[in-house]
Chains A and B, each alone.
Chain A
Amino acid sequence: MHKKKKPQKLDLKYLIDMQMINKWFGDYHVLRDINLSITPNEKVAVCGPSGSGKSTLIRTINLLEEFQQGCMEVCGLKLEVSNITKKTKREVNNRIGMVFQQFNLFPHLTVLQNLTVGPIWGRKISRQEAIHRAKKYLNHVHMYEFIDKYPNELSGGQQQRVAIARSLCLHPDILLFDEPTAALDPELVNEVLQVIEELAAKGMTMVIVTHEMGFARNIADRIVFMDQGQIIEESPPDQFFDQPRSERLKAFLGQILNH
């Protein structure tokens, strides 16, 4: 058995537990005293005006961005400013999948190769098992017939569904979505949202940065509102939309819901 084989079931109270996380881009204070805990199977949507630090927040969870103060625990791994190394970055990313706004498929690889390169070369899973997984998850996202296409032969929505399948192939404990539909033509948004909803129904733990308020309300157990690098408010969807407490959230909802 491989040494790095992850435990099948993580028996943790929180899959993500961020405490007093602060981050700067140069002099710009982009994340301010972030405290955020996410329990297994929870679906959390992150909303807020652009530039509020939403994307940076979820990119910090899987260490694509390093934080400069505070500490966090991700899937049982304790992370502090001092122990962020290439090794911990890989360990964290072995537990977390991520779907990007711009899909970020590998343009020189076919759909199948996009899905198997990580498992085979990163995770040392047998080629046979990796292909088996790839086919299974391509079926889940209704993209099986495109298995031999290259990304530039697919529409945006199809590329994003492949990207979702790619992240599933690694059997992540958490899936992060960074504005998964923001780069899509309007008529392609629904096919992607539908796939995410199917995943949610299967019990995947998810953190979703999104501007699709209706979708967030449908799918999320909790919605987090960010502004200027801070978490201003977090509450269940009904309360979030119907009884916002802070002025900033009221103003934000007023802006997006009146259109």
Chain B
Amino acid sequence: MPESKTNTFIEAMTPPVREGGPLGRFLKRSFSSIPNGLVTLLLLGGAGYLLIHLVSWGIVSAQWTGTTAKSCSNPDGACWSFIIARWKPILAGQYPVQELWRIFLFFGILTILIIWIAIRRIPGKSWALVSLWTVFPIISYYLLIGGSFGLSHVPTNNWGGLLVTVVTAVFTMISTLPFGLLLALGRMSNMPVIRLLCIGFVEIVRGIPLLAFLFSAATIFPLVLPEGVNIDLFARTMIAFMLFNGSMTSEVFRGGLQSIRREQYDAALTVGLGWFSTMAFIILPQAIKTIVPALVNCMIIIIKETSVLLVIGLFDFIATIHFGTESPDWIGGHHILLTGYIFTAAVYMITCSVLSKYSRRFEGQIK
């Protein structure tokens, strides 16, 4: 009989080395059988074909300079000159040229804040977050609208392009998060009036399509305001966005809050914490960790949602591209609208994928 028990100590060993490099393993898996090999070849071929066409259309045969549609006479190439020549309306719409520095300053401050929050090595994250919710909106308001501190007043109906899209997206995000959180807390409150109000609000607003909601803000809401009171279209739209997205994010927050076990509330009570500190230090930090992916999803939806602004008459990013192709200088060239839309899609896609990439890294950090 073989000896099944020994008293010898087995030394720890390193795991066996995997054979072949990464490329070797890729080839081995992709060509493991004839059908597999065929599928691999087909997919690689398709991707290669698309890539070659894209490079040829977008770079090799593309037109980069010129100020009218005549510059884009090549039927096989993109018309980047349209984007380059019209950078100003695409960036800021009718914003006065001599005031453009205010927009650059705004984008600069925003970029600094985003980098400050996103890059781990930079200290003082809480200051960045606090200023995002306090100083930043105030500075932006006076910087972009002006009317005081020696800055000339630029009414919002002169705004347009990327400025409108970014301002709407950023301030909807900034206002939606606290509003959604308040709705969620209200919905879980044990005070019946507050709870019913919050449930009613969330359920009604969630049930209305965004477009209907925006149209009411744009056209019906001014009718119910008392005589002489006038809130401008842009402000009404931002409030509508906050209310609409608040009801969406509130459900995400509620999910996160409900994922925290009752024992954590018990423990918080027994160490002497009141409602506010229990929420701020015990429940919310844990809840938010679990809902980061869902919240980022909400943010991405907000960014893309801003493209409906053109329907209620605000000239956002897409609108300036779309109506740009109808301006007298740019009628009749090749691929102008297509180039514009591909450019728009690329900007949206890069923004959203950077955001989701950041959120994945953030999830990795907090685990």
Contact = CB atoms under 8 A, between A and B. Distances in A.
B271 A170 contact: yes
A117 B282 contact: yes
- B-side interface mostly: helix
A93 interface: yes
B315 to A, nearest CB: 45
B271 A122 contact: yes
Contacts of B108: none
B273 A108 contact: no
B304 to A, nearest CB: 32
Contact of B266 (A86, A94, A100, A170): A100
Nearest to A170: B272
B270 A62 contact: yes
A105 B286 CA distance: 12
A104 B263 contact: yes
Interface in A83-141: 86, 89-90, 93-94, 96-98, 100, 102, 104-109, 117-119, 121-123
A227 B270 CA distance: 27
Contact of B270 (A64, A108, A109): A64
A100 B267 contact: yes
Nearest to A163: B267
Contacts of B111: none
B277 interface: yes
Contacts of A121: 273, 277, 280-281
Contacts of B275: 86
B269 A90 contact: yes
Contacts of A105: 267
A246 B327 CA distance: 98
A104 B266 contact: yes
A109 B280 CA distance: 13
A167 interface: yes
Contacts of A94: 272
B263 A98 contact: no
B285 A108 contact: yes
Contacts of A166: 271
Contacts of B268: 106, 118
B289 A104 contact: no
A97 B267 CA distance: 10
B2 to A, nearest CB: 32
B264 interface: yes
A64 B266 contact: yes
B48 interface: no
Contacts of B280: 121
B32 to A, nearest CB: 40
A105 B349 CA distance: 42
A104 B267 contact: yes
B281 A117 contact: yes
Contact of A104 (B264, B272, B277): B264
Interface in B252-290: 263-264, 266-275, 277, 280-282, 285-286, 289
Contact of A100 (B263, B273, B281): B263
Nearest to A59: B266
B270 A167 contact: yes
Interface string B100-140: 00000000000000000000000000000000000000000
Interface of B: 263-264, 266-275, 277, 280-282, 285-286, 289
Interface of A: 62, 64, 86, 89-90, 93-94, 96-98, 100, 102, 104-109, 117-119, 121-123, 166-167, 169-170
13 contacts: A64-B269, A93-B269, A100-B263, A100-B266, A102-B263, A104-B263, A107-B286, A117-B273, A117-B281, A117-B282, A122-B273, A167-B270, A169-B271
Given A93-B271, A104-B266, A107-B286, 11 more contacts: A64-B269, A96-B270, A100-B267, A106-B264, A109-B281, A117-B273, A117-B282, A118-B268, A121-B273, A121-B280, A170-B271
- Going nearest first, the 8 A-B pairs with the smallest beta carbon separation are A118-B271, A122-B272, A104-B267, A121-B277, A122-B273, A98-B270, A104-B263, A118-B272
